[in-house]
Structure 1
Amino acid sequence: MKHVTSADGTLIAMHEDGAGPTIVIINGALSTAHDAAEIARAFADAGLRAITYDRRARGDSGDSDTAAPEREVEDLAAIIAASGPDTAVIGHSSGAVLALFAAGQGVPISRLFLSEPPFRFGEDDPAPDLEDRLQAFVDDGHPEEAVVLFQREGVGLPEAFIEQFRASPAFAQIAPLGRSTIYDTMVTRRVATPSAEMRGVRMPVTILCGVETMPFLVSAASRLAETMPDAEFLQVPESVGHRMDPEATARIVAARVTD
C-alpha cells in the first residue's frame, strides 16, 4: 500500500497487483479497497496491472471537513496521475457513476468500464434531505445509523434484509463507513441523470450489467446505453446479485485493454 495526495491535501490509499496495462478499480458504496482484492487478483492473472484504492472516508484514506463529489474526482485524478499514462478505469455501482462523472470533468481515462451504475433518470429519487440526515447521524457519533438509513433510502433495500444484516457480525465492519454514505449519496444525486459532458466522453466506454441483479439497475444500464449510442453494452450472466464476477469481468476488460 502507498498513499497519494489529492488536490486538497487528503491522503488516499492505493494498492497495486500484477503487471501490464493499468486498470483502476472504483468500488461502490460501503466497501473498501480490500473488497476489490479478488477482482484485482483476477485482473492481474489476466495480464493487467490492477490498482485499487480506498475512496475517501474509507479504510486507510483520509477525508476533509466538507464532503463534495468534486473531491472524489480529484482523488481519482491523483490515483491516475500516480498510475501512469493510458490508464483505464472500471467503476462498479456508485463507483461507476463517479467514474463517468470524472470522465465528464476531463480526468484523463484511456478506456472506461461502467458496471451497473445506479442512474435513476429522475425516477424514485431519494428524499432531497437525505444527505443532511446522514450527516446528522455522523456528527452525533452514530455512523452505523447512517449506514442503515443509506441502505433504506439511498439504496432501497427491504427492511427485513436490513435488519438481518444489522444483526450479523459483518455489520460491525461496515458501520465505520457511515461517513462515506454521504459521498455516495451526493454523487448519485448530483448526476441522477448523466449530464451532456458525461454522455459525450470521447474514450471507449463499455457498460456492464449482470442478468440476476436489481431490476432498476438493468433498466439504468439499458437507458445509459441508449443515451450513449457509441458505448458498448454487455450483459454478464456470471455477475449476479449486484456483484462483478471476477473471472468474467477480467476476461472482458483484458480483451479490450490489450487489443
Structure 2
Amino acid sequence: MGTAVSADGTKIAYEREGTGPAVILVDAAGGYRDFNSLRPLADLIAKEGFTTYTYDRRGRGLSTDNQPYAVEREIEDLAAVIDAAGGQASVYGWSSGALLVMRAAASGLPITRLAVFEPPYGGSDEHDDEVREQLEALVAEGKRGAAVDLFHQVIGVPEEIMAQMDPIKPMLEKIAHTYPYDWTIAGTTSPEHITAVPTPTLVLDSTATGKDMHDGVEQVAKLIPNAVHKRLEGEWHGVPNEVLAPELASFYKG
C-alpha cells in the first residue's frame, strides 16, 4: 500500500504487487479497488514478471479529491503514480479509463507501452453538458441511486445487465459523485487527442460487445499512429482475466 500526492495535493491511494518493470492499471467509471477491482488482473500480470500498480482514482475508495474537476487533474494523478513506480511505466486503461490514459500519453507522460480496452469513443469532441449537469444535480440532491441509473442508461448498458445491478448499487452509489468526471473525459476526448498518442499501443475489444463499441474501438486503432488492434473472446464490455492477462504481458514485454 502507498499514497502518491498529485500536483493539486490530492492523495492517490495505490497498491503494488510483484517485481519487475512497472505496469499501472487504470479503472473505468464506477471501478475502484474495493469494488469491481482490477486487482485479480494485476495479480496475473505480476506473475508474468512485472510490478503492478492499482489505484483508486480521485474521489473513490481511499483517495481524496479536490475541486474544481478537470481531466488534467486526473492526468496529474496518473503522473504521481508513475513517479511512485520509478518514473516510467507501461499502462493499461479500461473503458473511460482507456480514454484517460490515452489523454495522458498524448500529454507527454512517460508511458513506455499503452494498452486500452474498449475506450468509449464516438468520433466527436462534442460534449453533452446536460447529462453531466443532471448527474451533478442528482448527487447534490442525495439521489445517488438515480445518478447511477442515469449514467448506465445513457452509456448504453443493456437492460438485462441493468436488471442485475440492484445488489451492487450501494457500492456504486458511494462514488456516484465521480460519474460526471468520466462523462467529462468521454465528452471532451477529440480525434486530436488520440492522434497525438506517441506510444506503442495495443487496442483491445471483446467479440461480444456491440457494433457501436466495435466501430469506436476501430476508429481509435486507426487514429493512433503506432497501434495494433486485437479482438478477444469475451462477454459484453469485458474479457476474462485469464484471457486478457497473457495478451497484456506479451505486449508489455515487447
What corresponds to 1:157 in structure 2? 157
Indicate yes or no: 2:208 matched with 1:212. yes
Q: Partner amino acid for 2:209? A: T
Stretch deviating more after TM superposition (113-122 or 141-150)? 141-150
Indicate yes or no: 2:243 matched with 1:241. no
In the alignment, structure 1 segments of 5+ residues that lack a partner are: none
Aligned residues: 252
Q: Partner amino acid for 2:203? A: I
What corresponds to 1:122 in structure 2? 124
1:98-117 residue CA offsets vs partner (Å, 9 max, x unmatched): 00011111111111101110
Say which of 181, 188, 213 aligns to 1:190.
Answer: 188
Stretch deviating more after TM superposition (103-112 or 138-147)? 138-147
What corresponds to 2:251 in structure 1? 256
What corresponds to 1:10 in structure 2? 10
What corresponds to 1:63 in structure 2? 65
**Hey, what's the Cα distance between the residues in 2 that align with 1:190 and 1:127?**
9
1:115-156 residue CA offsets vs partner (Å, 9 max, x unmatched): 110101139x77431111111112222222211111112x12
Indicate yes or no: 2:125 matched with 1:132. no
Q: Describe the shift of the 1:186–1:256 C-alpha distance in structure 2 as closer, same or farther (beyond 3 A).
A: same
What corresponds to 1:44 in structure 2? 46
Asked if 2 retains the 8 angstrom alpha-carbon contact of 1:144 and 1:175, the reply is yes
**Hey, what's the Cα distance between the residues in 1 that align with 2:17 and 2:56?**
15
**Hey, what's the Cα distance between the residues in 2 that align with 1:121 and 1:202?**
19
What corresponds to 2:76 in structure 1? 74
1:196-249 residue CA offsets vs partner (Å, 9 max, x unmatched): x43132221111111111322211111111222431111112x32212421222
Q: Partner amino acid for 2:191? A: P
Shift of 1:158: 4.3
**Hey, what's the Cα distance between the residues in 1 that align with 2:239 and 2:169?**
21
What corresponds to 1:225 in structure 2? 221
Say which of 174, 177, 184 aligns to 1:176.
Answer: 174
Q: Partner amino acid for 2:182? A: D
**Hey, what's the Cα distance between the residues in 1 that align with 2:139 and 2:69?**
12
Q: Describe the shift of the 1:106–1:171 C-alpha distance in structure 2 as closer, same or farther (beyond 3 A).
A: same
Indicate yes or no: 2:113 matched with 1:108. no
**Hey, what's the Cα distance between the residues in 1 that align with 2:28 and 2:3?**
20
Q: Partner amino acid for 2:250? A: A
**Hey, what's the Cα distance between the residues in 2 that align with 1:173 and 1:72?**
22
Asked if 2 retains the 8 angstrom alpha-carbon contact of 1:134 and 1:181, the reply is yes
Asked if 1 retains the 8 angstrom alpha-carbon contact of 2:114 and 2:201, the reply is yes
Asked if 1 retains the 8 angstrom alpha-carbon contact of 2:106 and 2:198, the reply is no
Asked if 1 retains the 8 angstrom alpha-carbon contact of 2:197 and 2:225, the reply is no
What corresponds to 2:149 in structure 1? 148
Indicate yes or no: 2:95 matched with 1:97. no
Output the aligned Cα RMSD: 1.9
Q: Describe the shift of the 1:139–1:65 C-alpha distance in structure 2 as closer, same or farther (beyond 3 A).
A: farther
Q: Partner amino acid for 2:96? A: S
Identity of matched residues, %: 31
**Hey, what's the Cα distance between the residues in 2 that align with 1:190 and 1:84?**
30
Shift of 1:50: 1.0
